[in-house]
């Protein structure tokens, strides 16, 4: 009981003297207040939860008076003790502290008792049993989990994460100026907690209950390089890019209309320079639908120096070092970003590598290439029943279309 056997009230708590042992609230089982005198005479009053979990008595601070009110402390004590009755350690259900202090690592006992329900275990299972078997490039999703999810909820029992905490995490990402990343994280969290329910790591409803995308709607890009911009680039590609390899890569993408990831993952065995074809296997194609890309003469010319630079590597674009792995497609994006000032000086507004694909497709339309052939050049499947039954490669039609595009680009060169 409080001093003199009186019940806790806000005014009584504020006047309790310092002592080594905590005062116990007679109105709420497990709630205590620890009053201590610091150096200099200052008095601190901390709300402490006392509980038993799997036979072990535990205590931890849940707040500080007067910032944390008596009513709130009682409600939180009830909530946390209820978790203990459900087999959830309250110590693993606390959000991370926000006041500049590092969150203490969970005790080994807490980690062992809640391991199969921990956020770390959930993420590990999600990565191994879902992301890696189903995604061509799971490393991007893994990076999101490692950067934003695990640090935020380190040591937490996944069953205790609530919708408000999901919103808080996503708001942080938006506030740092990354709305698109917030949308990607929201989608990934939705998959993560659905997986948790599927695997019975949690059995309640998912805490991802979003009314709208946290980063807002993403406007579809419409950027297409004009003929004037293409002319400026083609006049001296290496001057614009500074990097020889990037210049060759951009020209191959512009001439073929393929994605950066498809070129990054390409092997020299996929390229038949003599026949003028590039076979994109299913595992490298978006949607899992591989196809054959005709290589016009200029595309073959741009591939030759890449072949020399690759030396003995099997990859068209080997990563730096031994050449045992292909380049990360994002490295190509970063290389282009470093050259934007040079492009601007040449009169070319900011663009992405994917905009080259859109530029090529727009160019084919202007050159009166039939829409279905233009779409097949991009590797897009034909819609409806035609796409199911018409499996014709249209290789010659695609080659004729890309040769038209090559001729158009050649006419733009000084």
Per-residue pLDDT of 57-109, as tens digits, reads 888 888 888 888 888 888 888 888 888 887 888 877 766 554 433 333 333 33
- Mean pLDDT value across the chain: 86
Task: Output 4 or 68, whichever has higher pLDDT.
Answer: 68
Give residue 318's pLDDT band: very low, low, confident or very high (50, 70, 90).
very high
pTM for the full predicted model: 0.61
Query: What is the DSSP code (8-state) at residue 326?
Result: B
**Confidence (pLDDT) at 266:** 96
Closest CA to 306 of 254, 239, 357, 249: 249
**Confidence (pLDDT) at 111:** 40
Parts of the chain belonging to CATH 1.10.443.10: 227-412
Parts of the chain belonging to CATH 1.10.150.130: 117-198
Give residue 414's pLDDT band: very low, low, confident or very high (50, 70, 90).
confident
CATH number of 3-94: 3.30.160.390
- Dist CA 95 CA 103 (whole Å): 9
3-class secondary structure, 161: coil
pLDDT tens by residue, 24-40: 988 888 899 999 988 88
Parts of the chain belonging to CATH 3.30.160.390: 3-94
- Dist CA 356 CA 341 (whole Å): 18
Sign, CA torsion 123/127/128/129: positive
Mean of pLDDT values over 32-61: 87
CATH number of 117-198: 1.10.150.130
* CA distance to 271, 356, 369, 370, 393, per residue, from 397 (Å): 19, 21, 9, 10, 9
Percent of the chain with pLDDT over 90: 53
Tokens of 369: 């290439």
- Dist CA 69 CA 301 (whole Å): 74
Is CATH 1.10.443.10 the right assignment for the domain spanning 227-412?
yes
Mean of pLDDT values over 235-247: 91
pLDDT at 5 over 60: no
* CA distance to 314, 355, 373, 378, 380, per residue, from 365 (Å): 35, 15, 10, 13, 15
Burial class from Cβ neighbours inside 10 Å (0-12, 13-18, 19+) for residue 154 reads middle
Tokens of 335: 């290389």
pLDDT at 263 over 50: yes
pLDDT at 269 over 90: yes
User: Are 63 and 74 spatial neighbours (Cβ–Cβ below 8 Å)?
Assistant: no
φ/ψ of 382, rounded to 5, equals -75, 145
pLDDT at 15 over 80: yes
To the nearest 10 degrees (0 to 180), the angle between helices 119-126 and 179-198 is 90
3-class secondary structure, 29: coil
Q: Which residue reads 């191959």 in tokens?
A: 252
pLDDT at 292 over 60: yes
Mean of pLDDT values over 274-278: 95
pLDDT at 238 over 50: yes
Mean of pLDDT values over 266-289: 91
- Whether the ω angle into residue 66 lies within 30 degrees of 0, i.e. cis, is yes
Tokens of 382: 């034909």
Mean of pLDDT values over 198-212: 87
């Amino acid at each position: 009981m409080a001093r003199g056997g009186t019940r806790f009230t806000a005014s009584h708590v504020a006047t309790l003297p310092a002592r080594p042992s905590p005062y116990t609230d007679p109105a709420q089982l497990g709630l205590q207040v620890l009053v201590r005198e610091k150096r200099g005479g200052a008095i601190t009053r901390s709300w402490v939860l006392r509980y038993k979990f799997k036979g072990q008595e535990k205590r931890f601070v849940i707040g500080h008076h007067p910032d944390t009110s008596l009513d709130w402390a009682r409600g939180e004590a009830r909530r946390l003790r209820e978790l203990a009755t459900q087999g959830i350690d309250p110590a693993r259900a606390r959000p991370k502290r926000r006041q500049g202090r590092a969150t203490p690592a969970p005790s080994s006992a807490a980690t062992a008792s809640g391991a199969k329900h921990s956020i770390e275990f959930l993420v590990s299972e999600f990565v191994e049993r879902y992301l890696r078997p189903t995604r061509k490039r799971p490393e991007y999703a893994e990076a999101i989990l490692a950067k934003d999810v695990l640090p935020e909820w380190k040591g937490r029992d996944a069953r205790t994460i609530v919708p408000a905490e999901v919103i808080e995490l996503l708001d942080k990402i938006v506030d740092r100026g990354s709305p698109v990343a917030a949308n990607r994280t929201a989608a990934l969290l939705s998959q993560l907690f659905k997986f948790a329910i599927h695997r019975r790591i949690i059995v309640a409803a998912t805490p991802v209950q979003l009314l709208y995308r946290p980063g807002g709607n993403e406007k579809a890009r419409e950027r297409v390089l004009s003929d004037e911009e293409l002319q400026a680039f083609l006049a001296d590609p290496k001057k614009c890019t500074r990097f020889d390899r990037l210049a060759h890569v951009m020209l191959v993408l512009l001439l073929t209309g393929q994605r950066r990831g498809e070129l990054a993952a390409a092997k020299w065995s996929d390229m038949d320079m003599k026949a003028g074809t590039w076979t994109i296997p299913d595992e490298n194609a978006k949607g899992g639908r591989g196809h054959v890309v005709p290589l016009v003469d200029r595309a073959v010319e741009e591939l030759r120096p890449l072949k020399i630079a690759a030396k003995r590597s099997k990859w068209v674009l080997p990563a730096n070092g031994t050449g045992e792995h292909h380049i990360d497609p994002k490295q190509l994006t970063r290389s282009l970003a470093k050259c934007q000032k040079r492009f601007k000086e040449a009169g070319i507004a900011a663009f992405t590598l994917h905009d080259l694909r859109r530029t090529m497709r727009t160019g084919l339309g202007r050159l009166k290439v039939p829409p279905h052939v233009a779409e097949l050049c991009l590797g897009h499947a034909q819609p409806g029943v035609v796409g199911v039954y018409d499996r014709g490669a249209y290789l010659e039609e695609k080659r004729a279309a890309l040769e038209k595009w090559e001729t158009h680009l050649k006419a733009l060169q000084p």
